[in-house]
Each structure stands twice: as structure tokens, then as C-alpha cells.
Structure 1
Amino acid sequence: MTNLGDLEVFVKVVASGSMSEAGRLLGLSPAVVSKRIKRLEGRLEARLFQRTTRQISLTEVGRGFHDRMISALAGLEEAEAFVSGNAADMQGLIRITAPTSFGRMHIAPHLPRFLAEHSKISVELILTDQFIDLVADGYDLAIRIGELTDSSLVARRLAPVRRILCAAPNYLEARGIPTSIEHLDQHSCLPAHNSDPWRLVGPHGALTFRPEGRILTNSSEVVREAVLGGFGIALRSTWDIGEELRDGRLVQVLPDYEGSRNLALSAVYPSRKFLPSKIRGFIDYLVSVYGATPYWER
């Protein structure tokens, strides 16, 4: 019978992409990891990896073996959790990553109540706008905004994401209110991420508009401050500017046009059959906080 430790090493090597990184995550030397993989291959009488001096990749047999091992190991984790009582008792550390602005505005304020309700849980919240590999970096959960394309992950939709064109009243008083997309060429626009085009949906379907303005930045926070300061028109998510829309510091322009409707706020976690109760509990909590119509839309 194959050693279960060898199987865990195998899965970690696949997830991290290298034996040295897998060793670091498991607290083993690269030599020990390599020995474990060779022992597993000898036991199975099959080559699982193609090795070069620079990288390793799964063979066809290795890929099929990995797909089957993921569900098998998930079943073992669930069995252990059932015996230890963890399946019903939420406890332990939850490692979460989320976009910087959203995490600051709509996750951090809600953590105290969740932690007060679950005294045995602690949370590590890492805010970053960089892509994070959940498995390789050891995260339990990611909150992501956008179109999800990674089929190796499981996603649960938390809320819709609406993006609208908006501006400060003093800007519109000075420059006029645009009445068509073509009129935006006569306005100062505030592109995010160094002139990425705006993908919009209007009365006649999808269209792309490339905004031009005097501020170029890779920071969404800079764009937010600029539109509030009356420096132009921006395409912003309602979760980011809901309060400003309500109190009149910003107003919507060209209401017939919005950003792509394929975006969503989602909780993303590694693909496995049994989800730990602490992760499911936190996701359920966020769903209850945001509601069917998110509070920033009300």
C-alpha cells in the first residue's frame, strides 16, 4: 500500500510547481521530497513527472493520478475532521486574501462581529491587488472581483458587481453633462491601470471606449480620489462609491451605460469535495452581511 505521506508530498509538488517549494511548504528538504516522489513512482511503477534542469511537469499518467488523488485526500481530511469533532465545531485559523480597497471597506469592518460569534476562530486577512495562488501560498479563501476562469478552483457568488460612469457635481457644472458616449471624447476621463479600455454595455449591446485624461496610474485609489476631487469622469464599482452617490458627492452620468455585466464578487477556495466548517461558516457570514441586494446598492 502506498505511503499517505508520499501522496501528500506529490499533491504539494503539483500545486507549488517545484520540489524545492513543496519542501519549503512541508518543512522538508528538496532531497527528501525528491526521494519521496521516486519512492512513489517506484511503488506505482509509473513516471509521474517529466524532469528537466529548470522545471518539472506532470506526465499524462501523473495528471490522471493527481486528479484522482485530490478527491481521495479530501475524503481523508473530512473523515479525520468527523472523528476529531472539527466538522461541527468551527475553530482554528482562516487565511484569507482580498483586493485592497474592497477588503478595507467591506471585509475588515465586519470581522469583529464574526470573531465575537466564533471565539475559537482567528483570521489572517492579507489585502493585495496581485494575483495569489491559493494552494501554493497556503490560503484557505480568496475574495475576488471579476470573471472567474480558473476551473481548478471552486467559487461561490457573493454579490453582483455594478460599475457605473460617475463624476463630481462641480466637474459637470464646469464642463457640462455628456449625453452620449461620443461626448466623452470632449471630457477629461480617468482611466485606471494605465489606460485600460472601458468595456461597457449600452442600449445597443457591448462596446469598448478608450478613456483619455491627464492622470495615468495603476492605482484604483488614485482614480477614486481624482473623481471625488472633480477632475473628471470615471468608471467605478458601486461598492466603492455607494456612500458618495447617496450623499451627492458623486452623480451617475450616462445611466444607460454600465460596465460589463459578467463581473461578480466571489469567494474562491481550492477545489475539494468537503469544505471545512470554518470556511463555509465565514462564507455564509459574508453572504448574510451583503444580502441579495448588497447594502452599498440600497
Structure 2
Amino acid sequence: MDPDYALFATIVAEGGMAAAGRRLHISPAMVSKRLMRLEQRLSARLIQRTTRRLALTPAGARLHADLLPIMAALDAAERRVAGLSEAVSGPLCISAPTSFGRMHVAPHLGRFLMLHPHVDLRLDLSDDYVDLLGARTDMAIRITADPGSGMAARRLATNRRLLCATPAYLDAFGAPERIGDLKHHRLLAADGQLPWRLIGPRGAATVDGQSHVRTNSSEVVRELMLGGVGIALRSLWDVSDALADGRVRQILSGHEGSSDVGLFAVYPHQPHPPLALSAFIDFLAEIYAPTPPWSHRGIAPALPAA
């Protein structure tokens, strides 16, 4: 492979020219010179230089996506020629939503690392949308109805979302008997989470309104709901334990969040993903399917698919 292509990939992997220079044992000035040479040869700007960070241009993102499988194939070929085993190893950076990552990813990492001790693992937790290429992240766990067409995605589990409240709240304000009753109750949702789009016996239903407490944090909504402040639409993985021990009750069990929302592993398209990435996705799939560990018998059965 042209060494300037390898240099470009290293800049992306390391997040900057200085870091790439340290990795390749050359000066930042030489890194910049070779990058400019590659851009001139391709007649395209590959990296947008800013004062805060380096960002891939659309042309740079396309080139990087094309280079990844080529580099992986070359590495695998070299290992085969050298008689080395294709063991699961190398760096692996994973992103997950804050609460889900803390509750349902982090507790399993020890077992994954026991199975694959040569993986250099990083887990970043954030509720912000993560640009996989820009953030140098191998895979993101996303809870969404649409993982997007620009990335590869594997559905890991369904994501049931239930209307929940504490017994104390229901004793104080009464339990709603129909969807229309919710307009008389205290709703709890993070910014951008209302209106709620639900599925019920008569099809789709929408619940609009304002959150009784305004917050940008889904975790704060959970704590408010557990504190008896109001009614929230929560993912089952988030409130499973509270439902099981009676701290929370499911209400209006004939209605749930839209069933097209799922739990996805999202990663850049590449014919031959790194072994560490494939191993981690398979590992999560074994944990979450066919029955996620947060499922239990204390709730109404899932609604039939529309």
C-alpha cells in the first residue's frame, strides 16, 4: 500500500498530526507535508483543519471507509504468510448511551476481556449522537427506529418502552384509565422526548404536553419518576428492576412506545470488519437475544407486532 495512504489512516486513528507523527516516529511537519502531497495527488481536501480538531471532509470520509477493509485484508494476509493466528486482538472503541452502557454493557466487559485478553478496549458513554469516523469510534450502540443508511447495523434486541409511575404517585393522583387521562397528569420527559408516540389496541396514539420538570437528562427523568413526581415513558431495560421489586408500576399496559425502536450495533461499512469488532457484536448478541436479561414476568406481555 502507498505509505501516504497508511499515513492518512494513522492521522484519522490518532486524531491529529502530532499524535500520528509520534506513532510513526516522524515530525508533525513531515506528516503535514505528506498529507498535502496526497491531497494534491487526489485533487481533494481530505481533512478539514480547525483550531480545535481535525475533521474528515466528505472525500476524506469516503477514502477512509475504502481504506479500512484494504488495510484489514493486508494485515490478515501478512499474518497468514507469517504463520500467525488470527486471534481477536487490537484496539476497539465502543460508544453507548450513558444509562444503558452503565447498566447493561459495563457489567459484561470483564467476561469479554477474559475471552479476548488481547483486545485493547475503550468504552465511551454519551447521550449525544456520535460521529463514528470523526470520533474514531469502531461501533456505537444506538437505541433508535432508524440506524441510518450510511452505516452497517445489526439489531441486538427489541426496546420495549412502558408507561410507568410509582405507587405513591398513583395513590396521590390516581391511575389513568385511558390515554386521554394523561393530559390531567404530570408527565416527565427529557428535552425532545415529547410527544410520545404509542401503539395501542386501536393503533397509533400520540401523547403531547410539557414535562412537569424540564431537563436535558434522561437519567434525571428516571430519578424524578422513581421519586414519585410523575409518569414517564421508560425503556424496559431502564426500569426492569424497579418493576420487579414493586417500586414502579406499569400503567395503561395496553399501550407501549412504538415497536419499531430497537437496540442496534452501528458501525462503518467494511467487507471484513476487525475481528475484535465482530467478536464484541457477537458477544452482545448472545447476551441480549433471544430474551434480554432485563425481561421478566412482572409486566404485561409485549404487544403483537403491527
Give TM-score, length-normalised by structure 2.
0.80
Aligned position for 2:17: 23
Aligned position for 1:282: 280
Equivalents in 2 of 1:170, 1:150: separation in Å? Answer: 41
Q: Which moved more, 1:130-139 or 1:166-175?
A: 130-139
Once the two structures are TM-superposed, the CA of residue 5 in structure 1 deviates from its matched residue by 2.1
Once the two structures are TM-superposed, the CA of residue 153 in structure 1 deviates from its matched residue by 2.1
Aligned position for 2:92: 94
Aligned position for 2:299: none
> Quick check: 1:47 aligned with 2:43?
yes
Aligned position for 2:153: 155
- The structure 1 residue matched to 2:264, chosen from 254, 261, 266, is 266
Summarize the Cα distance change of 1:21–1:249 in structure 2 as closer, same or farther, 3 Å threshold: closer
Aligned position for 2:189: 191
Once the two structures are TM-superposed, the CA of residue 175 in structure 1 deviates from its matched residue by 1.3
Greater helix fraction, Structure 1 or Structure 2: 1
Aligned position for 1:294: 292
Equivalents in 2 of 1:255, 1:188: separation in Å? Answer: 18
Summarize the Cα distance change of 1:36–1:101 in structure 2 as closer, same or farther, 3 Å threshold: same
Once the two structures are TM-superposed, the CA of residue 263 in structure 1 deviates from its matched residue by 1.5
Summarize the Cα distance change of 1:296–1:68 in structure 2 as closer, same or farther, 3 Å threshold: closer
> Quick check: 1:120 aligned with 2:118?
yes
Q: Residues 46 and 61 of structure 2 are in contact (CA less than 8 Å); yes or no, is this contact kept in structure 1?
A: no
Equivalents in 2 of 1:64, 1:89: separation in Å? Answer: 28
SS at 1:135's partner residue? coil
Q: Residues 163 and 256 of structure 2 are in contact (CA less than 8 Å); yes or no, is this contact kept in structure 1?
A: yes
Q: Alpha-carbon deviations, 1:165-188, whole Å to 9, x = none?
A: 111112112211112221101111
Q: Alpha-carbon deviations, 1:49-78, whole Å to 9, x = none?
A: 39999898557xx89877755543443244
Equivalents in 1 of 2:195, 2:29: separation in Å? Answer: 48
Amino acid at match of 1:168: T
Q: Residues 9 and 22 of structure 1 are in contact (CA less than 8 Å); yes or no, is this contact kept in structure 2?
A: no
Q: Residues 187 and 233 of structure 1 are in contact (CA less than 8 Å); yes or no, is this contact kept in structure 2?
A: yes
Once the two structures are TM-superposed, the CA of residue 4 in structure 1 deviates from its matched residue by 1.6
Give TM-score, length-normalised by structure 1.
0.82
* CA RMSD of superposed structures (Å): 3.2
Equivalents in 2 of 1:57, 1:30: separation in Å? Answer: 20
Kindly, what percent of the aligned residue pairs are identical? 43
Amino acid at match of 1:76: L
- The structure 1 residue matched to 2:207, chosen from 206, 209, 212, is 209
Amino acid at match of 1:276: P
Amino acid at match of 1:23: M
Extract unaligned runs of 5+ from structure 1. Answer: none
Q: Residues 15 and 136 of structure 2 are in contact (CA less than 8 Å); yes or no, is this contact kept in structure 1?
A: no
- The structure 1 residue matched to 2:128, chosen from 112, 130, 146, is 130
Equivalents in 2 of 1:175, 1:236: separation in Å? Answer: 20
Summarize the Cα distance change of 1:226–1:85 in structure 2 as closer, same or farther, 3 Å threshold: farther
Summarize the Cα distance change of 1:63–1:177 in structure 2 as closer, same or farther, 3 Å threshold: closer
- The structure 2 residue matched to 1:238, chosen from 230, 236, 239, is 236
Number of residue pairs the alignment of both structures matches: 288
Aligned position for 1:218: 216
